[in-house]
Structure 1
Amino acid sequence: MIEIRRVYDPPPDEGAVFLVDRVWPRGRRKEDLRVDGWLRDAAPSAELRRWFGHRPERFAEFAERYRRELDARPDALRPLLEAARRGPVTLLYSAKDTEHNQAVVLRDHLHALLDRG
């Protein structure tokens, strides 16, 4: 099971927790955020993030481009896949939009990889 959650929401009760933003979230101190890893390389590139600009009308194209970036960096996903094979995983993100963000794409991409074996 892979869950997504905003960094500003209460922490999950169990499982591994990974921050999947390229930049550290505003207003959160590192010592206050319990994470098992900060996976910057699993986040969208700075160029893609700027292009997307959290504009919902660009989300489908963003998701396609982001998946291509993820396919080009399989090592960046290894910690997430290994943790997901052991138990629950939570992906933390800081975007305000809970439906149109990189964690949604990443979760779905990880599920597809796990389903393939």
Structure 2
Amino acid sequence: MLVVKRVYAPVAEDDGFRVLVDRLWPRGLSKAAARIDLWAKDVAPSDALRQWFGHDPAKWDVFQHRYSAELAKNVDAMAALRSELSAHVRGATLLYAAHDEQHNNAVVLLRYLQAQHA
């Protein structure tokens, strides 16, 4: 089982393996409080794409396409992430810092990973 969750939400027992999928560390959050098992910044959107998107829902469709294209080209980092995720049968949680729960890179990454398993 793989889910997404905002990194600022309380840590829960059913989070399983906690993976931060942002390139930047979340503001105001200590590493101890975040309880991150893996910081997968290599699968986060490029700085240029992240800055272009700016969490603007009007750019969501294009962002999803561009980010998915980046993921497809990032073979080594994606293979490493899949390997880490498959090692945790209890499940895993992809963590993100954005305020918008529907328009963020973790949502796109989750869909991308699920499509690869279909």
What is the TM-score with the length of structure 1 in the denominator? 0.92
Residue of 95, 98, 109 corresponding to 1:92? 95
Task: Quote the residue 1:77 is aligned against.
Answer: 78
Q: Deviations over 1:43-67 (max 9, x none)?
A: 0000000100100010010000000
1:39 match: 40
Q: Structure 2 CA distance, aligned partners of 1:24 and 1:83?
A: 20
CA distance 1:90–1:79, change in 2 (3 Å):
farther
1:4 aligns with 2:4: yes
Q: Which runs of 5+ in 2 are unaligned?
A: none
Any idea what SS the aligned residue of 1:17 has? strand
Q: Is the 8 A contact 1:83 1:89 kept in 2?
A: no
The structural deviation recorded for 1:82 is 2.3
- Aligned length in residues: 115
Q: CA deviation at 1:83?
A: 3.7
SS in structure 2 opposite 1:63?
Answer: helix
Q: Post-superposition shift, 1:36? A: 1.4
User: What are the Cα deviations for residues 17-53 of structure 1, in whole angstroms up to 9, with x where unaligned?
Assistant: 1000000000101122111110111100000001001
Please identify runs of 4+ aligned residues in structure 1 that moved more than 3 A: none
Identical aligned residues as a percent: 44
Indicate the SS of the match to 1:96: coil
Q: Distance in 1 between matches of 2:83 and 2:75?
A: 12
**Counterpart Cα distance in 2 of 1:40 and 1:78:** 14
Contact 1:17 1:37 (C-alpha < 8 Å) held by counterparts: yes
What 5-or-longer segments of structure 1 have no aligned partner? none
Q: 2:108 aligns with which of 97, 105, 109?
A: 105
Q: Alpha-carbon deviations, 1:75-112, whole Å to 9, x = none?
A: 21224322433421100000000000000000000111
RMSD: 1.2
